[in-house]
Structure 1
Amino acid sequence: MSQVYLAAQLPAITTEILKKQQLDFSVYSGTGLISKQDLLANVKDAEYLVTALSTKVDQEVIDHAPNLKLITNFGAGFNNIDINYAKEKGIVVTNTPLVSTNSVAEVTIGLILALSHRIVEGDAQMRKEGFPGWAPLYFLGQEIAGKTLGIVGLGNIGQEVARKAAALSMKVQYWQPHQKSDPEERSLGVNYVSFAELTRTSDFISLHAPQTSANYHQFDQAGFNQMKSTAAIINVARGPIVDEVALRDALQNKQIAGAALDVYEHEPAVTAGLADMKNVILTPHIGNATIEARAAMGKIVATNIALVQAGQTAKYVVNQ
């Protein structure tokens, strides 16, 4: 059996590196996401597992792979893997951080622009009903220049979003559990505010925090009640940070003006009702879906396998 099992089809650079290192590997060849049954069948003799963040690697999977040395997750997140149980079994778990930063930040800014100028709604209008003709008050949106962007989670992606937003003349404020240093804030041109202040005063709220037990449903009915009726929320972080039923209700009741989601609470399912709303943009988790970002991620997972195979320490270990 193969030393390496790739539980998803990955960029060519991944297999190129594995071939160069003379590592025997096999790749999931099915359509769609790999099933639990297929994963269990193929991982049983593997020493290295490459898995997408959409695939759950729980205790059952780990117990089916007694030879496993490394689980390398193709994604910046790793909440799909039971990292603590893997550590108990002596299995190293890695992810692919940093390389997604620019792509996700670009998507975030794109969603803000699309919401504010009603671009997706306008495209649907043209395809379904057509263009009735230019008129002074027809299909009005709003400019983002001068508006306040509230960023929840000022990590690498949040910081890059702040830079791009500032370049577009937005005012940027942020909240996270720990405030950045004064030099860091000044270099980014951001202001630290309380969570309540951020929700109350932001025109756009963009989520970039990792998923934790503390921020489950951080944006719930109470949170949406605090937001401006003209504000919109953008989630490119993790779905469960937003209570999607409460979001749907807030949109229906016009407590907030819009939303753009690239991740979902029950991914890949979308909460009923959201897809029917004109002021909601839904994208299929494309934050880092660029040729550049995915190739860089593929290089990381393959290189980590090569490092461990050579008796060296893998990079980006998340369960030390």
Structure 2
Amino acid sequence: MKKTILAFSRVSPSLLEPYKDKYNVIIMSPEMGDMDAQFEAAIPRAHGLIGGNRRLGEAELASAKNLEIISSISVGYDNYDLSYLNGRGIMLTNTPDVLNETTADLAFALILATARRIPELDAWTKEGSWTKTIDASHFGCDVHGKTLGIIGLGKIGEAIARRGRFGFGMNILYSGNSRKPQLDQELGARFVPQEELLSEADFVCPVVPLTDGTRNLIGRKELALMGSESILINVSRGPVVDQDALIQVLEEKTIRAAGLDVYGKEPLTNSKLFKLKNVVTVPHIGSATTDTRNAMAQRALVNLLMGLEGRRPRDLVNVHELGHRWTE
């Protein structure tokens, strides 16, 4: 009997076309009606899921009696109830590494956009306000030679740090679970306590996964440690930053600005953030380039097929719980 693959989002039909002889392939599409209804109708037949941006836990998967693997087209996996998946022995995979450089590009775009006030002054120019030479009220701040503080110097954080150090001559501070001597030497980076990083850095970038330990990692106390000319950049997960606290300090201008790709609730359609000139907001586009999204989908497909074929997927998230299957 053929196994069934359900593609529940972010999947081009051409990705799975070559596998329709070996698998029953169901590809959800808005053109076919309500996406939730499509999911509910198809999930009892599914052996493997591929996609992203859908919360999946007991309520959504109770009828998925055949489910073996969820292949997420994402790095983060906080949308999935990992404890529930572990309890049922369902494999979960993600797509790490593929988007490191692309996300670092975006982080630096936000650094430059906030520092030089690009969106604000673009809108000001287009509305016809540029009638004479600009004055100090329109000045931004430099990026080159400043101090970049990265909370969580993983692969994305490292890519951001390289851009800062070698592209802009920035001083690099980092905090996290462990020191990285090789990067200390290569980047001239300093491993410091988070409190010291917050008080010294001109640009603060949390680059951590969302866990119970990192939720509201940057809250009122942490924002109060930042200087009045410092800028917060968030390309990790929205709940890593206390959004209400951030809005307050931006309104009070106790920090200079913020550049945000992620938010406490997404999509974000109505927020006080939109009324603030010292915030640059983009709609969670960290990996949103054609090349990167294609690479993520291809990697997720490989993970899915390996799992369905009884092989250990390359990027098995719950390897500690399920990895014994391939060692016995």
**Fold in common (TM above 0.5):** yes
What's 2:154 paired with? 155
Paired with 2:271 and 2:17, the residues of 1 have a C-alpha distance of 42
Structure that is richer in helix per residue: 2
What's 1:9 paired with? 10
Find out whether 1:98 has 2:85 as its counterpart.
Answer: no
State whether residues 7 and 28 of structure 1, in contact with CA within 8 Å, keep that contact through their aligned partners in structure 2: yes
State whether residues 234 and 259 of structure 1, in contact with CA within 8 Å, keep that contact through their aligned partners in structure 2: yes
Give, as a single letter, the amino acid of the residue that structure 2 aligns with 1:291: T
Listed one character per residue, the Cα deviations across residues 264-292 of structure 1 (whole Å, up to 9, x for unaligned) are 11222367311100110110000010111
The verdict on how the C-alpha distance between 1:17 and 1:285 changes in structure 2, with shifts beyond 3 A counting, is farther
Paired with 1:46 and 1:129, the residues of 2 have a C-alpha distance of 56
SS of corresponding position for 2:138: coil
What's 2:313 paired with? 314
What's 1:215 paired with? 214
Post-superposition shift, 1:169? Answer: 1.1
Paired with 2:283 and 2:34, the residues of 1 have a C-alpha distance of 17
Give the stretch that moved more between structures: 69-78 or 119-128.
119-128
The verdict on how the C-alpha distance between 1:27 and 1:233 changes in structure 2, with shifts beyond 3 A counting, is same
Paired with 2:217 and 2:270, the residues of 1 have a C-alpha distance of 17
Paired with 2:227 and 2:72, the residues of 1 have a C-alpha distance of 38
State whether residues 6 and 26 of structure 2, in contact with CA within 8 Å, keep that contact through their aligned partners in structure 1: yes
What's 2:188 paired with? 189
What's 2:246 paired with? 247
Listed one character per residue, the Cα deviations across residues 38-80 of structure 1 (whole Å, up to 9, x for unaligned) are 422221210011131x210011222121001110111000010
State whether residues 17 and 299 of structure 1, in contact with CA within 8 Å, keep that contact through their aligned partners in structure 2: no
Alignment of 1:123-142 (within 5 A): 123-135=122-134, 137=136, 139-142=138-141
What's 2:322 paired with? none
State whether residues 245 and 271 of structure 1, in contact with CA within 8 Å, keep that contact through their aligned partners in structure 2: no
What's 2:179 paired with? 179
Alignment of 1:1-320 (within 5 A): 3-11=4-12, 14-16=15-17, 18-19=19-20, 22-30=22-30, 35-52=35-52, 54-135=53-134, 137=136, 139-167=138-166, 168-180=168-180, 182-269=181-268, 272-320=271-319
Paired with 2:275 and 2:5, the residues of 1 have a C-alpha distance of 43
The verdict on how the C-alpha distance between 1:264 and 1:47 changes in structure 2, with shifts beyond 3 A counting, is same
Paired with 2:165 and 2:17, the residues of 1 have a C-alpha distance of 40
Paired with 1:12 and 1:161, the residues of 2 have a C-alpha distance of 34
Post-superposition shift, 1:215? Answer: 1.6
Paired with 1:319 and 1:278, the residues of 2 have a C-alpha distance of 42
Post-superposition shift, 1:136? Answer: 5.2
The verdict on how the C-alpha distance between 1:275 and 1:300 changes in structure 2, with shifts beyond 3 A counting, is same
SS of corresponding position for 2:51: strand
Paired with 1:278 and 1:289, the residues of 2 have a C-alpha distance of 24
SS of corresponding position for 2:113: helix
How much identity, in percent, do the aligned residues show?
A: 30
Q: Which blocks of at least 5 consecutive residues in structure 2 are unaligned?
A: 320-328
State whether residues 4 and 25 of structure 1, in contact with CA within 8 Å, keep that contact through their aligned partners in structure 2: yes
Paired with 1:88 and 1:192, the residues of 2 have a C-alpha distance of 38
Give, as a single letter, the amino acid of the residue that structure 2 aligns with 1:185: D
Post-superposition shift, 1:9? Answer: 3.5
Q: Which blocks of at least 5 consecutive residues in structure 1 are unaligned?
A: none
Paired with 2:232 and 2:136, the residues of 1 have a C-alpha distance of 25
SS of corresponding position for 1:44: helix
The verdict on how the C-alpha distance between 1:118 and 1:34 changes in structure 2, with shifts beyond 3 A counting, is farther
State whether residues 91 and 307 of structure 2, in contact with CA within 8 Å, keep that contact through their aligned partners in structure 1: no
The verdict on how the C-alpha distance between 1:306 and 1:173 changes in structure 2, with shifts beyond 3 A counting, is same
